[in-house]
Structure 1
Amino acid sequence: MAKTTKTGRPISLDSVKANQVIELLKSGHYMQTALEVAGMPRSTVYAWMNGTRAQNSRKIQDFVDTIKKANAEAEQALVQVVRTAALGYTVERVKQKFVNQQNEQGEWVPVMVEQEIIRETKRDWQAAMTILERRWPDRWGRRPPTINHEENEVTSEDLPEDFL
């Protein structure tokens, strides 16, 4: 029986580059960008992720699993930001009133006479709409307008007088 020999470079994974990719993915970068910054070959990593290249190394499989986890964590963090904006968050401002008073040396110095903490709730309806559009596109997604020209024919008589 003839022995088969493996071709190509041996599979190796640089842990420094791998950690850099993971951190970039966690912060929301695209896979391609993270790989380019770290200097890892895109085709190799995608082959590892798709299972088209032999994954005889536990280290490689752990890296692939960590990539998936990092992407999920980034998504979760960004969804939380949008959700917080949609549901509302509290902003505190401090309002201070100063008057100038003369000190013992005869110098005029500002002295705070009043301080007020103002709390406001901020909401962003567009963030909520974004979640709705993306999560349930059938119900909340943007639809192109549909016009039946035969039934919805508009004449100048239908328009308000000040329109023309």
Structure 2
Amino acid sequence: MRKKAMKIMPGKRDRILIAAVLFLLFLCAVPLCLRHFRHKKQLMLSVQRNGEELLLVPLSRDAKYEVLDDTAKEVPMETTLASLGEEADPARHAVNLIEVQNRTARCSESNCSNQICVRTAALSAASYDLPIVCLPHGLVITVKES
């Protein structure tokens, strides 16, 4: 005698119970997912001179900034030290041009004596723990989380 294989068919109660458990799991997961995606940390470019913050802007926005002595302002992307003229005279002013592009930041030009800040690699999300430093101008460029 061969035994017949029993087919287990879930009843209506079982289906309702499974659906209720899945629904409760979904309800528990939604707030966790929302909290995770809502609190995304934004990377910010910080420029400090002698400990005073001159500039704090999002790294997600492409722009060029001119740091002239103790002030910082946004300038057109085409701006160079040569186009600044008398403003960029190293005997009169300390000038750095900082470029933010494709979520990276670098010191594109400077009128400092050693140019180490210009030769330093760009800051990005992967390398934001290493600052760009311009010692002659007392400038520290970092990327930090907001």
Per chain length, whose mean CA-contact separation is higher, i.e. which structure has more relative contact order (CA < 8 Å, sep 6+)?
2
Give TM-score, length-normalised by structure 1: 0.22
* Greater share of strand: 2
Structure number with bigger Rg = 1
Give TM-score, length-normalised by structure 2: 0.25
